[in-house]
């Protein structure tokens, strides 16, 4: 099969012929239909987050089940599925206490003495975040997929596999945004727009979108933003404090920078909560002004929207088909696997929400 392989940091991905084996007892072979090009892929491609190489990147995807292992009963060939990088074991402390997105049990990968799920001739290739969806097929653990209704377009379904679940989930699960509250979202890429959409679904009364690109702020209004702040033109902190009479109840940082993480905290009102969704590079320290904690301001992280993805994703599918989750506007373009490097480069400009790789 064709796959996009990262062999060196800060080098283009190479389209290569890669082999994948037959499903082991609890594995599923999925034919990839669509894969979003996410900013997280760029973080690993440029070395912000170290990862074993060579590796096939990609983690936001949807496809059709091709074959199943002997012990798999959840899906069968022909089923439509969305993948999730935060696969779960179902029996560790995190899973049993309702924090499935934090499961890190090694049984979700193959053991060291087993053949690699991906290989090129005699060379083992690392599987990326349990998935590796920049490939024509994915061989995954059965707990890395969720079955969805067949009338869901899979290019939109792929977006639910990461960006939508991360953004909407951060609002409804991690932060628990309440109806009538005030919300600010810093960064209007795919995850930020999903957070805005999630805040609208949650019933927030005022949703302030913050970005430096005017076209993305206009797009944010389609997702539910009631106000926009162009941080290239005004002091975003001062503007939001003035707009809200002291700060918001909830803020979300969806870029992954020290500066914007600190801004998310500074725009809170008394008792407010800042949730960091963006992937801040390894080694970066975020600084906060200690006395502000006396006002019961809080900062917290979110991993994949604190999801319970086998429950959440089918619900998100329903919300899309009801017209309440605005996935169509998230797709900036549909590209081929051979165009993956152009898709990654487009993320650097900040102009796109998502390019989606479509497979034949």
**Residues labelled catalytic:** 38, 40, 43, 59, 162
Tally of CB atoms within 10 A around 287: 9
Query: Please, which residues have CB within 8 angstroms of residue 347's CB and are 6 or more apart in sequence?
Result: 37, 39, 42, 189
What are the DSSP calls for 17-64, one per residue? E-EE----TTEEEEEEEEEEE-HHHHHHHTTSS---SSEE---EEEEE
What 3 state SS string does 160-213 have? HHHHHHHHHHHHHHHHCCCCCCEEEEECCCHHHHHHHHHHHHHCCCEEEEEECC
Give the whole-angstrom CA distance, residue 235 versus residue 250: 19
Where do the H-state alpha helices sit in the chain? 39-45, 93-96, 154-159, 165-169, 190-202, 214-222, 236-244, 258-266, 309-321, 340-349
Token representation of residue 41: 């892929």
For residue 1, what are the CA distances in angstroms to 18, 136, 137, 195, 342? 5, 6, 7, 35, 21
Give the whole-angstrom CA distance, residue 220 versus residue 196: 7
Token representation of residue 166: 């991360």
Give the whole-angstrom CA distance, residue 209 versus residue 213: 11
């Amino acid at each position: 099969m064709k796959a996009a392989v990262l062999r060196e940091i800060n080098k283009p991905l190479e389209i290569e012929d890669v082999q994948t084996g037959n499903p082991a007892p609890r594995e599923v072979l999925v034919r990839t239909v669509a894969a979003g090009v996410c900013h997280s892929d760029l973080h690993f491609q440029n070395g912000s987050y170290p990862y074993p190489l060579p590796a096939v990147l990609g983690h936001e995807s949807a496809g059709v089940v091709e074959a199943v292992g002997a012990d798999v009963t959840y899906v069968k060939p022909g089923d439509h599925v969305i993948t999730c990088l935060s696969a779960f074991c179902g029996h560790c402390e995190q899973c049993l206490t309702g924090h499935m997105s934090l499961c890190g049990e090694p049984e979700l990968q193959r053991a060291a003495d087993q053949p690699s799920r991906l290989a090129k001739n005699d060379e083992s290739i690392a599987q990326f975040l349990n998935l590796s969806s920049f490939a024509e097929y994915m061989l995954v653990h059965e707990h890395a997929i969720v079955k969805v209704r067949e009338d869901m377009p899979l290019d939109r379904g792929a977006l639910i596999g990461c960006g939508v679940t991360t953004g909407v989930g951060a609002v409804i699960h991690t932060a628990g945004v309440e109806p009538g509250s005030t919300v600010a979202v810093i960064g209007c890429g795919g995850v930020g727009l999903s957070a805005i959409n999630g805040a609208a679904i949650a019933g927030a009364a005022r949703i302030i979108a913050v970005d430096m690109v005017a076209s993305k702020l206009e797009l944010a209004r389609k997702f539910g933003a009631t106000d926009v702040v162009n941080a290239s033109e005004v002091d975003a902190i001062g503007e939001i404090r003035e707009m809200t009479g002291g700060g918001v109840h909830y803020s979300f940082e969806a870029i992954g920078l020290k500066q914007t993480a600190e801004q998310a905290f500074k725009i809170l009102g008394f008792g407010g909560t800042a949730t960091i969704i963006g992937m801040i590079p390894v080694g970066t320290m975020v600084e906060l002004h200690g006395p502000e904690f006396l006002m019961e301001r809080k900062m917290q992280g979110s991993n994949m929207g604190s999801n319970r993805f086998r429950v959440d994703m089918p619900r998100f599918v329903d919300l899309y088909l009801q017209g309440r989750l605005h996935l169509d506007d998230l797709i900036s373009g549909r590209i081929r696997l051979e165009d993956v490097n152009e898709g990654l480069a487009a993320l650097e400009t900040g102009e796109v929400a998502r390019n989606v790789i479509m497979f034949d």
